[in-house]
Amino acid sequence: MLAISGPTVFPGYVVGHHGGGHVLDGLGTLVDGWLDTGDLARVDDDGFVCLSGRAKDLIIRGGHNIDPAVVEDALLAHPQVQTAAAVGRPDPHAGEVPVAYVTLAPGATVSEDELHAFAARRVAERAAAPKSVTVLDALPVTAVGKPYKLPLRTDAVRRAITDAVAGVAADIDIDVVVRDGTVVATVTVPPAVDAAAVQATLDRFALDSTLAVRP
């Protein structure tokens, strides 16, 4: 984790005053003058700081930290893959498992199953191999063109819940949204469905979820 300090570091927002001057709030990222950037980084042999990703993007599988870049770089090595992004999909046993989303070059013929196998052969750590690869027309980006993974996380959550409840209930609605940076799922079932069984299935995941029954 990269933390920085120095005269250029923003000291915080003024939230009040006291006899000694301003009261500053570093919003939890500034401690004793050190700013937690949220970046993952390493120092190379020449003393340069090399950024490798964002801490919030780490995929934690059974307590094992997986850098999404490991999965993404493996898929980008395929000649028909243009862009790639890996996120964590909720898993009742491991907490999260890695899944990947890619876009393909014009005229590409490779299938999702072929890309899945391709990545599995090239990811050194077995735990980091993606459980699935999904082809999209475009990967989501922010207004300034930076990769934006939250929509991919919501899709991964939706797929995980859909697969989990498929054997328990039918005719369900799954709404997955992002609230204050957190993925929240609402599952709505018809009155005839065993709601307790669906709730038990949802409780197996480390998710912020709500179960509702249609009138």
Characterize 146-164 residue by residue with b for buried, 16 or more Cβ atoms within 10 angstroms of its Cβ, and e for exposed: eeebbbbbbbbbbbbbeeb
Asked if residue 124 and residue 85 are part of one domain, the reply reads: yes
Residue 143 within a domain: no
pLDDT for 39 beyond 80: no
Asked if residue 64 and residue 42 are part of one domain, the reply reads: no
Check which CATH number belongs to the domain holding 63 and give it: 3.30.300.30
Q: Global pTM?
A: 0.77
Residue 145 within a domain: no
User: Which tens digit of pLDDT belongs to each residue from 167-215?
Assistant: 888 889 999 998 877 889 999 999 989 999 999 999 999 889 999 999 8
Range of the domain at 209: 157-213
Asked if residue 86 and residue 71 are part of one domain, the reply reads: yes
Of 23-37, 50-64, 136-150, give the lowest mean pLDDT range: 23-37
Asked if residue 115 and residue 74 are part of one domain, the reply reads: yes
pLDDT at residue number 49: 75
Residue 193, φ and ψ in degrees, nearest 5:
-80, 145
- The encoded tokens of residue 41 equal 């980084």
Taking only Cα atoms into account, the Rg of the chain, rounded to an integer number of angstroms, comes to: 21
pLDDT at residue number 63: 84
Residue 177 within a domain: yes
Asked if residue 50 and residue 79 are part of one domain, the reply reads: no
Question: How many domains does one find in the chain?
Answer: 3
Asked if residue 44 and residue 83 are part of one domain, the reply reads: no
Kind and range of the H or E run holding 174: strand 173-179
- Are 37 and 4 a contacting pair, CB within 8 Å? yes
- Contact residues for 38 (Cβ-Cβ < 8 A; gap 6+): 1, 29, 54, 55, 56
Average pLDDT over residues 136-159: 93
pLDDT for 50 beyond 90: no
Asked if residue 102 and residue 62 are part of one domain, the reply reads: yes
> Average pLDDT, whole number, for the chain?
87
Q: Higher model confidence: residue 10 or residue 204?
A: 204
Residue 69 within a domain: yes
Asked if residue 174 and residue 104 are part of one domain, the reply reads: no
Asked if residue 84 and residue 46 are part of one domain, the reply reads: no
